A and B are shown apart, each in its own frame.
Chain A
Amino acid sequence: MRWVNRHMRRNDRMIAGAVPILALLVLYLVMAAQRHALNPGDKILPLPDAMARGLSALLFQADPLSGHFLFWTDTFASLERLGLGLALATLSALVAGLVLGVLPPVRATLGPLVTGIAVIPPIALLPVLFIALGLGETAKVALIVVGIAPPMIRDLTDYVASLPREQIIKAQTLGASSWQIMIRVALPQAMPRLIQAVRLALGPAWVFLISAEAIASDTGLGYRIFLVRRYLSMDVIIPYVAWIALLAIVMDFALAQASRRLFPWAHGASH
C-alpha cells in the first residue's frame, strides 16, 4: 500500500504523535542522569527534582524584596502585554483588512504602505519604540502590535479581496451599498480567517514579547528567563519555557475551538 493511502485511526494517531515527544523526554533524562553521574552538581541538564525545587521557590515563596509570588506575577505581566498586543493587532487587522479588501481605492492608496511596514524587521524598530514611548509597558505592547499587525492585515486584505466576485455582484443586485457589503458580506466571512491569522501570529507575538522583556523590564516570563541565565539556572529556565509552550498551546486550541463553535459554516462537515 502506498504511504499516501495509509490513514491512521484516531487512537493510533494519538500514540504515533506521543512517541517522538516521549522519546525526546527519555533522551533528556538519560543524558541528564549521565551528566549527574559524573558531576552531581551539574546545572546544565537539571533533573526533574531540581526543576521542581527551582520552580517551587518561585511558585510558593514570596520574593523577599517585593513580597510577590514571582511565577505568578511574571505570568500575569506577560499575559497582559501579550493580550493587549494581540487585541490591538487583531482589531486593527480586522478594520484595515476589511477596508483595504473591499474598497479598491483604499487598497491602491494604503496597500503599498502596509507592505512597506510589513517588510521591516520589527526588532529593528524596538530602539525607536523605546526612544519614542519610553521603557514602560507601552513600548512592549507596541512592539507586539508593530510586529504582528502588518502580516495579519495583509493576510486579511488578500482574503477579503479574493472573495468570489459573484458574491459582491450578487449583493449589489440585492441593493447592498459598499458599507453594507463590508459589514454583512465581508466581515462575517473574514472572521474565521481572522482567528486563523491570530493563531498564526501567536508564535511571533511570543517572540516579540520575550524580546522586549529581555531587553527592558522588571517582571515577566521573558525577563525571568534572561535574568536567571546569569546563574546558569536551567532548573528555572526549562520549566518556564515549558510553561510558555503550554500557554501557547492552550491559546491556540481555544481559538480553534472558538472558530468551530462560532462559525460552523466555515468548517464544512463539522456542522
Chain B
Amino acid sequence: MTALLTLRDVWVEFGDKIVLEKINLDVAAGSFVSIVGPSGAGKSSLLRLVLGQEAPTRGTISLDGAVLPPECGPDRGVVFQRYSVFPHLTALQNTVFGLECAQSPLLARLFGRARRAAQDEATAMLEAVGLADALHLYPAQMSGGMQQRLAIAQALLKRPRILLLDEPFGALDPGIRADMHVLIRRLWREHALTVIMVTHDIREAFSLGTRVLALDKRRHDPHAPHRYGATVVYDLPLRPREDAPPMQDGAQEEQQATPQKVAV
C-alpha cells in the first residue's frame, strides 16, 4: 500500500523549546493509527500539524503526494475532545453545515431541492452514528457521547481523506466509551477511513489501532529539558486492515451499536 500521508524530517519548535524532533512517518491509506505517549510529548502537536492548525518549523508534510498548506481544509476531518460541534445549531443543522459551505459560498445556506437533498444525506449519516432520534436537538440537550457521535457524523459527511481524532473519548464514561469504540470501528470499516487517533488510553490505542505510535523524548538533558523534543520511539504494526478483528468483547456489542437503540 502506498503512503497516503508522509512526514519527512519534521520539527516543531517554539522559540528555543523543541516539541517534536525529526519525525519521519508514512501513513498508509486505510490504516488506523493510534498515537500514545506521556503528557507533553507532543501527541496533540503532531495531530495539529497534520490538521494544518500549525505549520512545522522544518520539514514537509504531504498528503497524496502534495505538500499540505498550513491551513485546515475539508480533506482532513477532525473530532476534538470538546467543542467540536456548534452550540447554536441542531444536530441536523450541524451536519448539513458542511454541505452548505461547499454548495453555497455566499450565504452558506441551501434552499428548496438542494436543501432537502443535503438534509437527506445528513439524516442518513446521523442515522449511521445512532442519532436518528436526535435530529432536532441542540448540543446542550445531548449527552457527551451523543455530541461526539454528532461531531463524527459532521466530519464523515465531508468524506475526508484522513479522520483525525484528538482524545475523542477521553471525557466519556467507560460504558459509553465502549459503545463509541464499536461505532468508530464500524465506521472505519464501512467508509474505508484512514484514522489517526491521539489517546492516553493505552488499551484503547491497541484495541482500535492497526498501528500504534508511541511518542517520547529519546534523550533528556536534565539542565535544559526543553532542548530535546519528542519523536516516535515505538512504531508497532499490529495487524493489516483486513485482519482487524471484531471487538474483543464479541459480536454482541456490535449488535448494540445498531443506530436506533444506542443508549447514550
Chain A residues packing against B (C-beta within 8 Å): 164, 166-167, 169-177, 179-180, 183-185, 188-189, 263-266, 268, 271
> Which residue of the partner chain, among B77, B102, B107, B138, contacts A173 with CB atoms under 8 Å?
B77
Q: List 17 A-B contacts (CB under 8 A).
A: A166-B84, A169-B53, A170-B86, A170-B151, A171-B86, A173-B77, A173-B155, A173-B158, A175-B74, A175-B158, A177-B101, A183-B108, A184-B101, A184-B109, A189-B87, A264-B138, A265-B87
Name which residue of chain B comes closest to A184, CB basis. B108
Beyond A180-B108, A183-B108, A271-B141, is A173–B78 a contact (Cβ under 8 Å)? yes
Q: Are A176 and B87 in contact (CB under 8 A)?
A: no
Interface residue tally on B, bucketed by range: 35 or more
Q: Are A166 and B105 in contact (CB under 8 A)?
A: no
Q: Are A166 and B138 in contact (CB under 8 A)?
A: no
Interface residues of B in 131-174 (CB under 8 A from A): 138-141, 151, 154-155, 158, 160
Beyond A172-B71, A173-B158, A268-B140, is A185–B101 a contact (Cβ under 8 Å)? no
Q: Are A172 and B72 in contact (CB under 8 A)?
A: yes
B87 neighbours in A (Cβ, 8 Å): 189, 265-266
Interface residues of B in 80-137 (CB under 8 A from A): 80, 82-89, 97-98, 100-102, 105-109
A188 neighbours in B (Cβ, 8 Å): 88-89
Main SS class of interface, B: loop
B51 within 8 A of A: yes
B217 within 8 A of A: no
What is the number of contacts between chain A and chain B, taking CB atoms within 8 Å?
86
B211 within 8 A of A: no
Name which residue of chain B comes closest to A172, CB basis. B72
* A166–B83 alpha-carbon span in the complex (Å): 6
* A175–B84 alpha-carbon span in the complex (Å): 14
Chain B residues packing against A (C-beta within 8 Å): 51, 53, 71-74, 76-78, 80, 82-89, 97-98, 100-102, 105-109, 138-141, 151, 154-155, 158, 160
B97 neighbours in A (Cβ, 8 Å): 171, 174, 176, 184
Beyond A174-B101, A177-B105, A180-B105, is A166–B86 a contact (Cβ under 8 Å)? no
Q: Are B140 and A265 in contact (CB under 8 A)?
A: yes
B80 neighbours in A (Cβ, 8 Å): 166, 169-170
Q: Are A174 and B83 in contact (CB under 8 A)?
A: no
Which of A184, A263, A264 counts the most B-chain CB atoms under 10 A from its CB?
A184
A175 neighbours in B (Cβ, 8 Å): 73-74, 98, 101-102, 158
> Which residue of the partner chain, among B71, B72, B74, B88, contacts A189 with CB atoms under 8 Å?
B88
Name which residue of chain B comes closest to A265, CB basis. B138
Name which residue of chain A comes closest to B87, CB basis. A265
Given contacts A164-B83, A170-B83, A189-B86, 8 further A-B contacts (CB under 8 A): A167-B84, A169-B80, A171-B101, A172-B71, A174-B97, A174-B155, A175-B101, A180-B101
